[in-house]
């Protein structure tokens, strides 16, 4: 799916996604860590093994992101309760949704200039 954006903002924008991955600028990433400043490929653990360590670069962002957007893959799945509690204990909100919805939400929220972070699991 190709995504069109009305507003332009600094930083990485997901311009398209498919089963092959997420297109950001000149790269395509199977799984992705996003900050308002950069996009990095990610080798995520199985969702049921997700820990704060797996997203540590996002939580170390300064200034602190408003919340962590978690794309859980092709379908919405709940992240582990221990992960959610650990993220919240560090003072971050977390919003989980399927990775397609998370990619679209990233574009909208960054278009509004929101300072967020995202971890997107592969679509396949």
Residue 31 has pLDDT above 50, yes or no: yes
The domain locations on the chain are 14-120
pLDDT one-digit tens code per residue, 86-113: 999 999 999 999 999 999 999 999 999 9
Residue 7 has pLDDT above 50, yes or no: no
Superfamily of segment(s) 14-120: MTH938-like (3.40.1230.10)
Q: Which residues contact 98 (CB under 8 A, 6 or more apart)?
A: 71, 72, 73, 74, 75, 76
Task: State the pTM of this model.
Answer: 0.91
């Amino acid at each position: 799916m190709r995504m069109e954006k009305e507003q332009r903002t600094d930083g990485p924008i997901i311009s398209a996604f498919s089963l092959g991955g997420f297109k950001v600028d000149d790269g395509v990433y199977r799984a992705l860590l996003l900050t308002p400043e950069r996009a990095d490929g990610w080798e995520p653990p199985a969702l049921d093994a997700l820990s704060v360590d797996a997203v540590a670069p996002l939580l170390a962002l300064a200034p602190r992101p408003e919340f962590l957007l978690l794309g859980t893959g092709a379908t919405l799945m709940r992240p582990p309760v221990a992960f959610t509690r650990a993220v919240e204990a560090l003072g971050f909100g977390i919003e989980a949704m399927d990775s397609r919805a998370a990619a679209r939400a990233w574009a909208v929220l960054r278009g509004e200039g929101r300072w967020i972070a995202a971890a997107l699991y592969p679509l396949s």
